[in-house]
Amino acid sequence: MGKRFAGTIFVAINFLVSCFVFLGSTFLFAKNSNKSLDFINLSTELSISNSPQVRIKSLQDNISPIVRLKSDTFRTSGSDINIDVSVNEPLITGDFTYFSLQADGEADRGLYKVTLNELKEGENEVELAFYDRFGNSTKKNITVEKRQILGESTIRGEVIWLDGDDILAVIDKEFALPSEYYPKDLVYIAEYSIPAVYGKFMLREVIIQDLSQLFADANAAHVNLLVMSAYRSYDKQRSVYNTWLSAAGITEANRVAALPGHSEHQLGTAIDFTTPEIGNSNYFDKTAAGKWLAENAYKYGFVLSYPQGSEEITGYRYEPWHYRYVGKDAAMDIHLSGKLPIVYLKEINKVYN
């Protein structure tokens, strides 16, 4: 009798424990099933005494991602647009590609490139769909204006009619060139015997005569200059920016590299100089070549784009190696006035922040 009673009690306890585990796991599933979860695999196995195994299955996120766009209107002269996206979870974006994706508080933020192959001239109403890894989608309606623009203000959202072929065009963090712009008169500088760290650099032909004279006079003064960087395409600048972004993070990247479309190098009239005296361009201003260039560049039509102490206005740190050709007259005006080149260029182009 005692053994039979004890056995009955043991079975009852096992049953109650099994029920407790099952109810507990069901509560865990119910508690989490209505949340937007990143992929979480709760395949934990629980085993108590002789009770059956209780398996908690993987939870599937069935909630659409939260997607925010910086703007719902875009302009392009081709088929590509760049959209600034913030999202609360990783996306699978189909045909989209992103330039960069960085943590921004609790969201990820990035510049996405979207190709729209059937845009007509004028305004286009477009629906974008963003998918997470579980197939949940969020749709956004945007307006895309297709026009043959030459430049635009990305901060104010205004089309500014600036010609990239104009040596006095305004290019900075606000004013940008379209992705398809490239100078039509690019030439390889090696064909003109201009010294460089390697032979495949290109610049606009319009600056070659003054640049050649600069190098000739520097050589006569026993100054050894080299071209370290010259023309960069829109896509090349994207690569440069992303390299800095990966290495230093978004804050530092924005101080040292331009976003694609915002680089003076895309104009084909900007040059980064160096000298065999150094291995790191950060010390260029301390070298004989750097000092000679700082004193004489304006005589040949070149100005220092990002002087020391100008970061608050230019948005870029001091770059003693980065010079842009603006022509001898404008370079002399900038030299005599003491104005920053970007301030001078905005004044003569009548565009202001």
Catalytic one of 152, 174, 264, 319: 319
pLDDT tens by residue, 16-57: 445 544 444 333 333 333 333 232 232 333 333 444 444 444
In contact, 164 and 137? CB cutoff 8 Å = no
Q: What is the CATH class of 152-349?
A: alpha beta
Q: Which of 61, 62, 85 is nearest to 72 (CA)?
A: 85
pLDDT at 322: 97
pLDDT at 179: 82
pLDDT at 56: 45
pLDDT tens by residue, 151-183: 444 444 554 545 788 899 999 988 888 888 889
pLDDT tens by residue, 271-287: 999 999 886 667 899 99
The overall average pLDDT reported for the chain is 80
Say whether 106 is catalytic: no
Q: What phi and psi values does residue 205 have, to the nearest 5 degrees?
A: -65, -25
Strand-pair category, 137-146 with 73-76: parallel
Query: In CATH, what number does 67-146 get?
Result: 2.60.40
